[in-house]
Amino acid sequence: MPRKIDQDPTGSNCPPDHVSDVAAREDTARLSRRAFIKGAGAAAAVASLIGVPAAAATSPSPESGEAAGAGVLERIGPGAREIELRINGVARQVTIEPRVTLLEALRGPLGLTGAKLVCDRGACGACTVHLDGAPVNACMMLAIDARGHEVITIEGLGTPGRMHPVQRAFVEADALQCGFCTPGMVMAVTAALAANPAPTLDEVKHAVSGNICRCGTYPHVFKAALAAAAKARSLKPTEGA
């Protein structure tokens, strides 16, 4: 009479000894995977603490014959370091931690307080500056990411004795009250007119849609922007003159 084989709970007809061997191998495989994952997580945690990219722990060393530094991220932080920023046409040296935003660097060690700290989350536009001619929220950008770019702040746009046409138009149109939003508004309008010298009212509204004025001077802002654009066109030399 044939030997009766115990029925495996999974539905396979395997001898008990064979079933236990398979289960043991599966447990070993699970433990190996778990150990690998835990080990990889621990390595990543240690790498983050010492400021080394996780991949660097397993990347070839220079002595291995591979090209040194290939594909390895720049090591920055956690302490302060000196960087160079080009602000209003001048190269400025500043020592900051990597976590410092461009706005904090401008208002702190660089002493340029024209860009205002209001919402600190990129929602109000009071900290607007130009990065290579484009308007950006300085509170949402790390200062180290501004390296190699041209940053223009409201201080670099004009002076009280020689105002930029947009600044002058804001004064003439009485387009400010408390003044906290004004630098950002001026920077946004200036960038918009540089890209589009003849904007419509709707285009002006769109250009400053990211700038909040809690005093409600929007109609005067729109008036100032359109006036500055019209004056710039009237002063532009005609073709063939």
Provide the token pair at 10: 């999974």
Give the three-class secondary structure for 203.
helix
Question: pLDDT at position 76, please?
Answer: 74
**5 Cβ neighbours under 8 A, 6+ residues apart:** 13, 14, 15
For 10, which DSSP code? T
Question: pLDDT at position 199, please?
Answer: 97
DSSP 35-103: HHHHHHHHHHHHHHHHT--GGGGTSPPGGGTSPTTTTPPP---SS-EEEEEEETTEEEEEEE-TT-BHH
Whether the Cβ atoms of residue 100 and residue 142 lie closer than 8 Å to each other: yes
- d(C-alpha 180, C-alpha 183), whole Å: 7
Per-residue pLDDT of the chain (241 residues; tens, 9 = 90+): 555 544 444 444 555 555 455 555 555 545 455 555 566 665 555 444 444 444 444 443 434 333 444 445 567 778 899 999 999 999 999 999 999 999 999 999 999 999 999 999 999 999 999 999 999 999 999 999 999 999 999 999 998 899 999 999 999 999 999 999 999 999 999 999 999 999 999 999 999 999 999 999 999 999 999 999 999 998 876 544 4
Provide the token pair at 93: 């040296």
pTM for this model (two decimals): 0.68
- d(C-alpha 38, C-alpha 28), whole Å: 15
- d(C-alpha 170, C-alpha 147), whole Å: 31
φ/ψ (deg, to 5) at 152: -120, 125
